[in-house]
Amino acid sequence: MKAFKIILLSLFALVIIIPLIAVIFTTFKSTTEVFANILGVPESFRFDNYVSIFVDQPMARYFMNSVIVTLFSVTFTIFFASLIAYAITRMFGWIGVVFFSLFTLGMMVPAQVNMIPLYQLVFDLGLTNSLLGLILVNISVTMPVAIFIMSGFMKSIPKTLFEAARIDGASEWKMYRKIAIPLSIPSIAATSIFLFVMHWNDLLYPLLFITKNEYKTLPLALLEFQGEYATNYPMLFTGVLIASAPMVLAYLFLQRYFIEGVTAGAVKG
Amino acid sequence: MNFRKNKSLFLFLLPGLILYSIFFIVPTINAVIYSFTDWDGLSPDFNVVGFDNYINIVTNDSIFLKAFVNNIKFMLFVLIFQTVFSLIFAMFLIKNTKTNIFLRALYFFPTILSSVSVAFIWTFIYDPSIGVLNTVLDSINLGFLKQSWLGNQDLAIFSVAVTQVWFHTGQMLIIFVAGLQAIPKDLYEVADMEGARKWDRFRFVTWPMIAPSATIVMAYTTIQSFKAFDLIFAMTRGGPNYSTEILATLIYSTAFRSFEFGYASAQSVIFMIVIALITVAQFRLLRASRVQE
C-alpha cells in the first residue's frame, strides 16, 4: 500500500513537472533543435527567442495592457462589491435579501448568454478597442461572485460592534471603513487573488472587444501567435512563459493565499 | 427609522448597481429578446420570429445536438477522473507534513495558468509528428498506440478532457483535503475499537463525512466542464468536424462566425436553462448530503 501510494504520488508529480520543464527548456531551443531533441536539455541557454519575441511583437504593450486591465478590474470589483456586501448585510428585512438575490443570481448566468448583447452594447458605446470597455465589463461580470464571498464573511461580524459604533454617532461610511473593511481583510485578500487569476487569464472578453494590437491583452495575443507561429513551439512557449511569469512569481511567495483564494471562488461560487 | 437607515445604504449600492444593470442585467434580458428574432448582428432590421429559433434547435439542429452530446462526454470523463484522482490524492496528502504541503502546491500549480497557456502545452504534448506523447510511446515500444490525439474525431474530445483533468485536479484536491481534515479523529478511534478494516473505515466514516465536499467538487467540476470555452477554443476551435465542439464554443461560432445573433441567442438561453437545472440539482444534493450528517 505504501509503495503504491509513493508510486502514484510521484507519477502525478512527474505528469505536472515534465511538461513545465519541457516548456522552459523549449524556450531556449531553435525549432530544429526541438525536432531533434524534444524533451532534453537545450544545447545552450541562449535568450534568442526572448529577444526576438520582443522585437517581432509588441510584447511590452500586451504586458502593460494586461497589467492595467487586471489592476483596475480587481480594484474596482473589490471596492464596489465590498460596498454592496456591506449594504446588504446592514439592510433590514427583505430589502437586503432582494438585493442579495439580484446580484448572486448573476453567478448562474453563463458568459455565453450576455456576450452577444454585450458585444453590441460595447460597440454602440464606442468602447470597442479600448481598455476601459474591457474593465467596465470585467467589473460587472465578476461582481456577483465577489459579493457572494464577501457578504458571507461580513454577516459573521458581530452586530453589536455596529450598534456600539452607531451609539457613538458613527455614519455608515465610517462603519464601513473602520469596522467592516478591517475585519474582512481575509475575505478581501482571498477574493482579490481569485479575481487576479481570473482577469489576468481571461480570453473571452478581449476576444470579443479587441481587434487592434494596441489594446490586446496577453491571452489574446498568445492565441493569435498560434496563427503566426503555427508549430514554432519555442516562440509559443516563450510567449507562455512571459505571460505566466507574474502569476508564477506571485504564487511562489503567496502560495497559501492563492490556494485559499482560488478555492474560495470554487466553494462559494 | 428603518427606511431612513436603508436610504443611506442605497448610496453604497449605487456605483455597483449602475454598472451591473448596464453591463449585466440589460444584456441578459436583451439576449432573451434577441432569441425571438432572426437578427444577423449586422443589418439594422430584423423580424420577430417567435419560437422558431427554439423549435429549430430542438428539432432540426444536428450540430447543437452533437455539441450537447460532446459536452456530456466531456463532463462525465472529467467528473469521474477528476473526482477520483483528487479524492485519492487528498487522502494520501491529508497530513500537513512538509512533503505533503509541497506536493499539494505542485499539483495545484496548473490552476494559476491561463487556459491559452495550458492549451499550448497540451498541443505540444499531443502534436502528431513531434509530440511528447507519441515520442514517449515510441521510446517504450508502444509505438503502435501512436495517435493524432487531437485529429482523431472519436478521440479528440477525450484528449481535451484529459487536459482539463490535468488543469484542475489540484484545485479539487484542496477542497477534499479541507473536508478530510475536518473529520473528528474520535470517529476513527471508535471505528478502530469496533474492529473496522481499512475499507470499512472509508465506507462508514470517511465517505459519509466528506459527502458535502464531494458534492461541492462534483458540482463545480460539472459547471466548469460546461464553461470550458477558453481551453477548447484555444486547443481545437471545436474541430475537427465539430468533434470537440461544446455548447459554449458553438454559441460563439454561431454568433461571431455565422453572424446569426438571433439564433445564437436562442442557443445561449437553452444553455442557460441547462446550467440552471444543474445548479438547482446540485443544491438539492448538497442539502440532502448535509441532512445525512
- Chain B: closest CA distance from residue A223 (Å): 7
Query: pLDDT at residue A37 above 90?
Result: no
- Three-state DSSP state, A120: helix
> Hey, are the CB atoms on B109 and A16 less than 8 Å from each other?
yes
Lowest mean pLDDT among A4-8, A97-101, B48-52, B80-84: B48-52
Dist CA A146 CA A179 (whole Å): 19
**Residue B293 DSSP code:** -
In-domain check, residue A52: no
- Contact in structure between B40 and B260 (CB atoms under 8 Å): yes
Output B288 or B145, whichever has higher pLDDT: B145
Q: Mind listing the pLDDT tens digit for each residue in B90-112?
A: 999 988 899 999 999 999 999 99
Dist CA B70 CA B63 (whole Å): 10
Query: What pLDDT is recorded for position A40?
Result: 81
Nearest to B135 among A38, A114, A259 (CB): A38
Query: pLDDT at residue A267 above 80?
Result: no
Q: Are residues A92 and A34 both part of a single domain?
A: no
In-domain check, residue A98: yes
Query: pLDDT at residue A197 above 60?
Result: yes
Nearest chain B residue to A103 by CA distance is B20
DSSP lists the bridge partners of residue A93 as: none
Mean pLDDT of B227-233: 91
- Three-state DSSP state, B23: helix
- Chain A: closest CA distance from residue B21 (Å): 8
Q: Are residues A38 and A70 both part of a single domain?
A: no
- Chain B residues whose CB is inside 8 A of the A39 CB are 132, 135
Query: pLDDT at residue B266 above 90?
Result: yes
Of B115, B107, B152, give the one whose Cα is nearest residue B133. Answer: B152
Mark out the alpha helices in chain A (DSSP H runs): 2-26, 31-36, 48-56, 59-90, 93-104, 111-124, 131-154, 159-167, 172-175, 181-183, 185-201, 204-209, 218-229, 233-268
> Hey, are the CB atoms on B171 and A263 less than 8 Å from each other?
yes
CB of B88 less than 8 A from some CB of A: yes
List Cα–Cα distances, B39 to A109, A118, B93, B178, in angstroms. 22, 15, 54, 49
- Please, which pLDDT band fits residue B70 given cuts at 50, 70 and 90? very high
Residue whose grid cell is 455596529: A162
In-domain check, residue A53: no
Query: What pLDDT is recorded for position A109?
Result: 86
Q: Mind listing the pLDDT tens digit for each residue in A157-182?
A: 888 888 888 888 888 899 999 899 99
Mean pLDDT of A187-191: 89
CB of B18 less than 8 A from some CB of A: no
Mark out the alpha helices in chain B (DSSP H runs): 2-20, 26-34, 52-60, 62-92, 98-108, 115-126, 132-139, 156-181, 185-193, 198-201, 207-226, 229-235, 247-256, 261-292
Output A95 or A72, whichever has higher pLDDT: A72
Q: Are residues A96 and A223 both part of a single domain?
A: yes
- Contact in structure between A119 and A209 (CB atoms under 8 Å): yes
Query: What pLDDT is recorded for position B178?
Result: 86
Nearest chain B residue to A245 by CA distance is B113
HSE of B73 in the Cβ direction (CA atoms, 13 Å)? 19
Q: Write down the mean pLDDT value for chain A.
A: 89
Dist CA B293 CA B289 (whole Å): 7
Residue whose grid cell is 515520442: B135
- Chain A: closest CA distance from residue B120 (Å): 7
- Please, which pLDDT band fits residue B258 given cuts at 50, 70 and 90? confident
- Please identify among residues 97-156 of chain B the ones whose CB lies closer than 8 Å to any CB of chain A: 103-117, 120-122, 124-125, 127, 130-132, 135
- Please, which pLDDT band fits residue A115 given cuts at 50, 70 and 90? very high
CB of B220 less than 8 A from some CB of A: yes
Q: Are residues A89 and A215 both part of a single domain?
A: yes
Mean pLDDT of B66-89: 93
Contacts of B279 (CB under 8 A, 6+ apart): A108, B219, B223
Query: pLDDT at residue B82 above 90?
Result: yes
Task: Pull the grid cell for residue B139.
Answer: 521510446
Dist CA B55 CA B36 (whole Å): 11
CB of B235 less than 8 A from some CB of A: no
Tell me the one-letter amino acid at A74.
V
- Three-state DSSP state, B261: helix
B47 burial level (CB within 10 Å; 0-12, 13-18, 19+): exposed
DSSP lists the bridge partners of residue B48 as: B37
Query: What pLDDT is recorded for position B293?
Result: 47
Query: What pLDDT is recorded for position B131?
Result: 84
Q: Are residues A37 and A161 both part of a single domain?
A: no
B185: left (phi over 0), alpha (psi -120 to 50) or beta: alpha
Q: Which of B37, B38, B107, B117 to mutate to test the interface with A (most CBs of A within 10 A)?
A: B117
- Please, which pLDDT band fits residue A269 given cuts at 50, 70 and 90? very low
B238: left (phi over 0), alpha (psi -120 to 50) or beta: left
Nearest chain B residue to A134 by CA distance is B23
> Hey, are the CB atoms on B26 and A121 less than 8 Å from each other?
yes
Number of cross-chain residue pairs from A and B with Cβ atoms under 8 Å apart: 245
> Hey, are the CB atoms on A16 and B106 less than 8 Å from each other?
yes
- Three-state DSSP state, B48: strand
Q: Are residues A169 and A216 both part of a single domain?
A: yes
- Please, which pLDDT band fits residue B121 given cuts at 50, 70 and 90? very high
Domain count across chain A: 2
Dist CA A129 CA A63 (whole Å): 16
Query: What pLDDT is recorded for position B210?
Result: 86
Query: pLDDT at residue A210 above 90?
Result: yes
Nearest chain B residue to A252 by CA distance is B105
In-domain check, residue A230: yes
Query: pLDDT at residue B290 above 80?
Result: no
Query: pLDDT at residue A80 above 90?
Result: yes
> Hey, are the CB atoms on A222 and B116 less than 8 Å from each other?
yes
Mean pLDDT of B173-185: 87
pLDDT above 90 covers a percentage of chain B that reads 46
Q: Are residues A105 and A200 both part of a single domain?
A: yes
Query: pLDDT at residue A65 above 50?
Result: yes
> Hey, are the CB atoms on A87 and B10 less than 8 Å from each other?
yes
Q: Which domain holds residue A34?
A: 2-46
In-domain check, residue A166: yes
- Phi and psi, residue B96, nearest 5°: -85, 55
Query: What pLDDT is recorded for position B51?
Result: 86
- Chain B residues whose CB is inside 8 A of the A237 CB are 120-121, 124
Nearest to A203 among B171, B216, B230 (CB): B230
> Hey, are the CB atoms on A17 and B106 less than 8 Å from each other?
yes
Domain CATH code at residue A203:
1.10.3720.10
- Three-state DSSP state, A58: coil
What's the whole-model pTM score?
0.89
Q: Are residues A97 and A34 both part of a single domain?
A: no
CB of B31 less than 8 A from some CB of A: yes
Q: Are residues A189 and A117 both part of a single domain?
A: yes
Q: Mind listing the pLDDT tens digit for each residue in B10-40?
A: 889 999 999 999 999 999 999 999 999 888 8
Q: Are residues A172 and A224 both part of a single domain?
A: yes
Q: Which long-range contacts (CB under 8 A, 24 or more apart) does B35-39 make?
A: B35/B262, B35/B265, B35/B266, B35/B268, B35/B269, B36/B262, B36/B266, B37/B262, B38/B262, B38/B263, B39/B261, B39/B262
List domains and CATH numbers for chain B. 60-292 (1.10.3720.10)
List Cα–Cα distances, B184 to B137, B176, B205, B206, B239, in angstroms. 45, 15, 10, 10, 49
Query: What pLDDT is recorded for position B1?
Result: 41
Contacts of B162 (CB under 8 A, 6+ apart): B77, B81
Output B32 or B215, whichever has higher pLDDT: B32
Q: Are residues A213 and A94 both part of a single domain?
A: yes
Q: Are residues A110 and A32 both part of a single domain?
A: no
ipTM: 0.90
Dist CA B27 CA A153 (whole Å): 30
pLDDT above 90 covers a percentage of chain A that reads 50
CB of B272 less than 8 A from some CB of A: yes
Nearest to B275 among A5, A16, A110 (CB): A110
Query: What pLDDT is recorded for position B222?
Result: 86
DSSP-assigned states of every residue in B116-136: HHHHHHHHHHH-TTT-HHHHH
- Chain A residues whose CB is inside 8 A of the B169 CB are 12
Dist CA B167 CA B171 (whole Å): 8
- Chain A residues whose CB is inside 8 A of the B2 CB are 92-93
DSSP lists the bridge partners of residue B37 as: B48
pLDDT above 70 covers a percentage of chain B that reads 96
What per-residue string of b and e applies to A86-97 under the rule 16 or more CB within 10 Å gives b?
Answer: bbbbbbeeebbe
- Contact in structure between B151 and B118 (CB atoms under 8 Å): no
Nearest to B174 among A120, A223, A263 (CB): A263
Number of H helices, E strands in chain B: 14, 0
